[in-house]
Amino acid sequence: MIEITRLNKWYGDFHVLRDIDLTVAKGERIVICGPSGSGKSTMIRCINHLEEHQQGEIVVGGIPMTRDVKRIEQIRRRVGMVFQHFNLFPHLTVLENCCLAQVWVQKKPRREAEKIAMEYLERVRIANQAQKYPGQLSGGQQQRVAIARSLCMHPEIMLFDEPTSALDPEMIKEVLDVMVQLASEGMTMLCVTHEMGFAKTVADRVIFMDQGQIIEQNPPTEFFGNPRSARTREFLSQIL
């Protein structure tokens, strides 16, 4: 589903991603962790061209990423993304948030878009809030809406960038539960998160990044039970 080869990226003079190689198979669930500033967000944002890379190759669902707008659109249609700060449209209701891209990007009739939106809102257990505005919901509820909105586009890959790190502790579980459900349904997922319980139960592979590099990647039992690199061990000792 995703094939990244020798990816390098700079922000001006700053070399943010260094020779990243990463292959993700269909249905695989990857957790990415690492210190703040290590390039986790930058890497996953490159996958749907929210960031542009300067060297290396990214192929998503068989489509090589280029600057061509058509290509980028083809890739983005396959990739859903959920951010730390939800990024819902505050002036639109929950239902309208979930319909917008279906109507304007996918050109679906509004009634069909609403039906699909309600199905996904049902799945994240928030259909009863469909007529409310994001500001009237808790953080956990808003993040579940953001996930539903993404799923309405029927993505083949879901990218999560610290989806629970802006939430109060009591709301983290309701969002993780939705992510666990999605994983059990076979979604291909890349999740930047420091929720190591989630990583242990859901991830096929855990990736540790530091200073723009992938330092280590292993199945969770190996990753947590026998971390190879000193940097991984140090990081784990700080967060576990």
Contact residues for Mg ion, defined by CB under 5 A? 41
Residue nearer to ligand ADP on the CB measure, 50 or 92: 50
Verify binding: residue 52, ligand ADP, rule CB under 6 A. no
Chain mean position to CA 158: 5
Residue nearest to Mg ion (CB): 41
Instruction: Compute the least distance from the CB of residue 44 to Mg ion, in Å.
Output: 9
Q: Give residues 82-141 in contact with ligand ADP (rule: CB under 6 A).
A: none
Residue 21 to residues 12, 100, 149, 164, 215: CA-CA distances in angstroms? Answer: 22, 35, 30, 26, 11
Exactly one of 19, 26, 37, 87 binds ligand ADP (CB under 6 A); that residue is 37
Q: Is 193 among the residues that bind ligand ADP (CB under 6 A)?
A: no
Assigned token pair, 67: 């600057």
Q: CA 190, CA 182: separation in Å to the nearest integer?
A: 12
Q: How far is the CB of 35 from ligand ADP (least distance, A)?
A: 7
Nearer to Mg ion, 41 or 97 (CB): 41
Displacement of CA 217 from its chain's centroid (Å): 18
Instruction: Check binding of 16 to ligand ADP (CB under 6 A).
Output: yes
**Residue selected from 2, 33, 42, 150 as contacting ligand ADP according to rule CB under 6 A:** 42
**Contact between residue 99 and residue 88 where contact means Cβ atoms under 8 Å apart:** no
Pick one of Mg ion, ligand ADP, none as the site partner of residue 220 (Cβ within 5 to 8 A by kind).
none
Nearest to 37 by CA among 167, 231, 213: 213
Render 155-207 in DSSP notation, one character per residue. -SEEEEESTTTTS-HHHHHHHHHHHHHHHHTT-EEEEE---HHHHHHH-SEEE
Judged by the rule CB under 6 A, the positions of this chain that interact with ligand ADP are: 11, 14, 16, 34, 36-42
